[in-house]
Structure 1
């Protein structure tokens, strides 16, 4: 037997042992109740990443206790968590013990660059510290007129489209996506992506942004290998190998990554060229910090060499922020219009509140008055509670840890457990949707869309639960050091768009069946079999 053959046998035996031990060696997590794995290889994660897997997620939140054992790929144990104290421990108190898994950050970084969502540890903290100022309430006030200008263009574009009625209706997902991209373009990058003048096809960049979430989600299991693949030789070799992978899904994700990179470089180059040429408007933007890139360029140039972001990091911030802001705001708005179309009495009541506020303001409703409109706020909060765009997030234990619980759970052995011993490398799935729909917190009507629940005093159960989210006692925007940095930005976008469109239009459903599909950020299709994201609605002018 040659040395190479012997080495191959050793590697094969070692790999087989690594696989088999997951199935046969006892784990502290084995005492936690959970569903049987649906697959030997995928465990429960095939169900978790099924785009029609809503029933599975709801079953985890309703049938089991607030911590559920899942089986990860290749027999590894995982936890599905929506216990408030446990979530606080994971995302706030011990957030550096529970970081995103390497495969999550590595694969995202390969597509978007090393932006704030694709990094962890000290690098993530440094990037987030530099970005924080742009998302303050005071900065949102400065952005409000910009948002209104975009929303007015949106209104005019829809108005032009409905002058020629179509049996297919108006694809509100397309309009919302184009609008969200333009909003973050103007408010985030100081750059216009779309005039919103008419119903035109997506450009390559908008199309790539629209498809990115589903493309990543559909390759979730394949992405598990990315931490190992990035170590396979130099980048040119990895690129050469990638281009020869016989998978349309892999090749489409590669094309998306190339489009994002090309456009990020273009926007950054334009701004730097304008600065160098003495463009007064751009210089004023940079000095006053009107958009994310202006603040980054200004602060980065003034930062010490050790704190300064590299060119690659600057490009990464652009792609990741545009993607995160565009995808989530698009879906939040589309979901809101869906609910308003199914509840026309709510839509009428909200329209009346907006019109009265606009009449009192003598024009566009100023920031503080807009954010304080009670019924508009209630509709937004209830929609974001019941239908979060992101249904779960994932973390990985970087070391052995102990996870405390708000309420003890009953183990498989019948004993009560008030804490759980979590082995190093355990995958933690934080159930955002499960937490938001918890009957223990929100009562028996937790799964009902009831904006009125936000108009009175919050129930003691909600307050006492101490949900660790940064927004309104829900987990929709997560919490801690990795919470959604732009939740105020997104909330303002939603309210401005709703205020402008509801004053002018009435939104109703067509006879087409709209199905919501699970993904990194969920998306609607017409019919369950379709993979094309769209949301047709009947839109008519109101007087």
Structure 2
């Protein structure tokens, strides 16, 4: 543990930096916006947000009070622009790799955890890396992966059947579903992505099981807050940082093995890494253009994107279906009794509605943070009133300004989604059950995939979107056709838990870690 004095020393350095650079630089003064008052001169509202796990209702309350673009005081009062105006958000995301860049803190975190792959890259480097990866996520490629999705979920279903058969009279059983969603997602991305079977569904240990995500959380949280002003503090040692290095090492050792196999031709061309290496060789005239380290960094990102986000989304879907049994019953009835092809899978209207509603309410990534490299003007959907009482229809944002788009808050904003914005209601996606063409109302002003920002938007939109959606639908369809899910008892509640993994995960309140035990029985 770093002495507390070191934290205050870093804060003092941040204060001096703020006075010398930020406060005295008139170029940083854009449109003067309203925003919440600071409860702490040192910390601003950062502790309020962390205490609420960056809860969307906090942002939406501020947006209602101060307008859809406002500033919040962060460490030492340094302002952060919060953008919740649909037109402004489209503008921000469209500027990815141009004016709008990931901030230094985010890039340092990504580098520690994943290396310098697509998530880390900016500008021309990002464009080239994305171009190399795009063929691996085409509709043709994902169509071929669908059988892998089915194979994995059926293997898991068989294991669950054995668990149920071990109980008296083959009755219901409490199963920790998040652990199993981790397994099915990891094995699937291993096979589809790299022709590599982790075999966690067969009982093999996951390379991530030994990583203790909870250690050093408080000190690392302080570094994150201070790092918003002084990114170099991320170089300070901490237990959490060592955890990230362990994670990076575990992923990189796997990626290194797969890379060597791929170079020897021992890998399928239609896997994601096979397509990447094939595209790279073709682009470079038969020679690899990317270094081994760059390829491994891409694999790190793909492995986590295909494992962490998918397992979280599947777990939230099962939680919502448990707490809304009428939705679960309707979904089961709509699915029929047999597997369907990739094309048929994407025509199942109610399955699609359940998946989209889960992704709307529970995006694995809750917000995106940017810095801008030059002054810019944000267009607004509707005028707002500034701190000086002036009505404006655009916002002047200064160079180096820090900007946040709170994804989860936008996905649940009542002004866009209606008064039931926080309610799980798949029917909002069904044209046949709504007065307008769907049930989205003003949400249609948003960009993103079908007006949900879960996959982000613009040039940074998630490359694996169709892969993730198809896997989500295939796995969920088999599970719901085969099993009935319910809560352990009427008092069981769930919450979003940060600090237990790279991304916030659901957990059952009172359970150890981020366990999500649910009662499971076969469909009769």
- Aligned match of 2:320: 339
2:207 counterpart of 1:204: yes
2:499 counterpart of 1:513: no
Contact map agreement 2:97 2:122 (CA 8 A) in 1: no
How far apart are the structure 1 equivalents of 2:188 and 2:453? 24
How far apart are the structure 1 equivalents of 2:474 and 2:133? 23
Encode CA deviations 1:421-469: one digit per residue, 9 max, x unaligned.
1111111110212221222222222222111111115359746843121
- Aligned match of 2:180: 175
How far apart are the structure 1 equivalents of 2:232 and 2:142? 41
Encode CA deviations 1:468-525: one digit per residue, 9 max, x unaligned.
21x1111111101111111111101110111111111111111343221246632123
SS of residue paired to 1:221: helix
- Aligned match of 1:153: 155
Q: Within 5 A, what are the aligned runs for 1:180-259?
A: 180-198=185-203, 202-205=205-208, 208=211, 218=221, 220-221=224-225, 224=228, 228=232, 245=237, 247-259=238-250
Q: How far apart are 1:30 and its partner, in Å?
A: 6.9
SS of residue paired to 1:402: strand
Say if 1:210 and 1:184 are closer, same or farther in 2 by CA, change over 3 A. farther
- Aligned match of 1:368: 343
How far apart are the structure 2 equivalents of 1:126 and 1:69? 34
Say if 1:452 and 1:465 are closer, same or farther in 2 by CA, change over 3 A. closer
Say if 1:21 and 1:119 are closer, same or farther in 2 by CA, change over 3 A. closer
Q: How many residues align?
A: 497
Q: How far apart are 1:78 and its partner, in Å?
A: 1.0
Contact map agreement 2:447 2:453 (CA 8 A) in 1: yes
Q: How far apart are 1:44 and its partner, in Å?
A: 2.1
SS of residue paired to 2:455: coil
Greater CA deviation, 408-417 or 202-211?
202-211
2:283 counterpart of 1:303: yes
Say if 1:124 and 1:209 are closer, same or farther in 2 by CA, change over 3 A. farther
- Aligned match of 1:525: 507
How far apart are the structure 2 equivalents of 1:175 and 1:149? 15
Encode CA deviations 1:305-330: one digit per residue, 9 max, x unaligned.
89921111100001111112211111
How far apart are the structure 2 equivalents of 1:392 and 1:466? 19
- Aligned match of 1:104: 106
Contact map agreement 1:171 1:537 (CA 8 A) in 2: yes
Say if 1:61 and 1:264 are closer, same or farther in 2 by CA, change over 3 A. farther
Q: What's the TM-score once normalised by structure 2's chain length?
A: 0.86
1:485 to 446, 463, 466: 463
Q: What's the TM-score once normalised by structure 1's chain length?
A: 0.83
Say if 1:267 and 1:440 are closer, same or farther in 2 by CA, change over 3 A. same
- Aligned match of 2:5: none
2:425 counterpart of 1:450: yes
Encode CA deviations 1:180-228: one digit per residue, 9 max, x unaligned.
1111111111211125135x6x43335559889x999846336558854
Contact map agreement 1:168 1:536 (CA 8 A) in 2: no
Greater CA deviation, 163-172 or 341-350?
163-172
Q: Within 5 A, what are the aligned runs for 1:39-438?
A: 39-50=40-51, 52-54=53-55, 55-93=57-95, 95-165=97-167, 169-198=174-203, 202-205=205-208, 208=211, 218=221, 220-221=224-225, 224=228, 228=232, 245=237, 247-273=238-264, 275=265, 279=266, 282=267, 285-286=268-269, 290-304=270-284, 308-356=289-337, 358=338, 364-438=339-413
SS of residue paired to 1:96: coil
1:503 to 460, 481, 489: 481
Contact map agreement 1:394 1:430 (CA 8 A) in 2: yes
Contact map agreement 1:191 1:267 (CA 8 A) in 2: yes
- Aligned match of 2:3: none
How far apart are the structure 1 equivalents of 2:463 and 2:137? 7
Can you give the 5+ residue segments of structure 1 that lack an aligned partner in the other structure? 1-11, 231-237, 359-363
Contact map agreement 1:49 1:220 (CA 8 A) in 2: no
Contact map agreement 1:156 1:197 (CA 8 A) in 2: no
How far apart are the structure 1 equivalents of 2:137 and 2:362? 24
SS of residue paired to 1:476: helix
SS of residue paired to 2:199: coil
2:520 counterpart of 1:539: yes
The CA RMSD measured in Å over matched residues stands at 3.1
How far apart are the structure 2 equivalents of 1:446 and 1:272? 50
How far apart are the structure 2 equivalents of 1:372 and 1:87? 30
SS of residue paired to 2:403: strand
How far apart are the structure 1 equivalents of 2:115 and 2:130? 15
SS of residue paired to 2:202: coil
Greater CA deviation, 455-464 or 486-495?
455-464
How far apart are the structure 2 equivalents of 1:429 and 1:496? 33
